Amino acid sequence: DSGVTQTPKHLITATGQRVTLRCSPRSGDLSVYWYQQSLDQGLQFLIQYYNGEERAKGNILERFSAQQFPDLHSELNLSSLELGDSALYFCASSVGDLRGTDTQYFGPGTRLTVL
């Protein structure tokens, strides 16, 4: 158990809908990262937050947004869902950011299926 929790584990929804994925980092970790893994796109980095502020941005679509709350948990909001958004969404956390020496710890992922 990495200590990073993600809810829900599975999510099935329809095109056009909006969903929210939640991530709770390990205790003491200030950074939260979001990744998407799909058969078409492979593994992609979406976004990183550090202590509530956006720190790095990857291939995150405009239909997607994220935030990190004062208690350091993070939410990834996906709207106007399309079939191609079906993927495994991972969250990770670390004490510092990617330029540091800390280990990243990953959650088990949320599998999103868009029908």
Partner 1 sequence: AQKVTQAQTEISVVEKEDVTLDCVYETRDTTYYLFWYKQPPSGELVFLIRRNSFDEQNEISGRYSWNFQKSTSSFNFTITASQVVDSAVYFCALSEANRDDKIIFGKGTRLHILP
Q: In the complex, which residues of this chain contact partner 1 (CB under 8 A)?
A: 2, 35, 42-45, 48, 55-59, 88, 90, 92, 97-99, 101, 103-106, 108-109
**Smallest distance, partner 1 to C-beta of residue 90, A:** 6
CB nearer to partner 1: give 81 or 107: 107
Tell me how far, at minimum, the Cβ of 40 lies from partner 1, in Å: 12
From residue 55, give the alpha-carbon distance in Å to each of 33, 62, 68, 76.
10, 17, 11, 15
Smaller CB distance to partner 1: residue 58 or 84? Answer: 58
Among the listed residues 105, 98, 95, 102, the one whose alpha carbon sits nearest the alpha carbon of residue 6: 105
Nearer to partner 1, 92 or 114 (CB): 92
Number of neighbouring beta carbons within 10 Å of residue 53: 10
Closest approach of partner 1 to the CB of residue 16, in Å: 28
Q: Shortest Cβ distance from residue 59 to partner 1 (Å)?
A: 8
Q: How many CB atoms lie within 10 A of CB 21?
A: 23
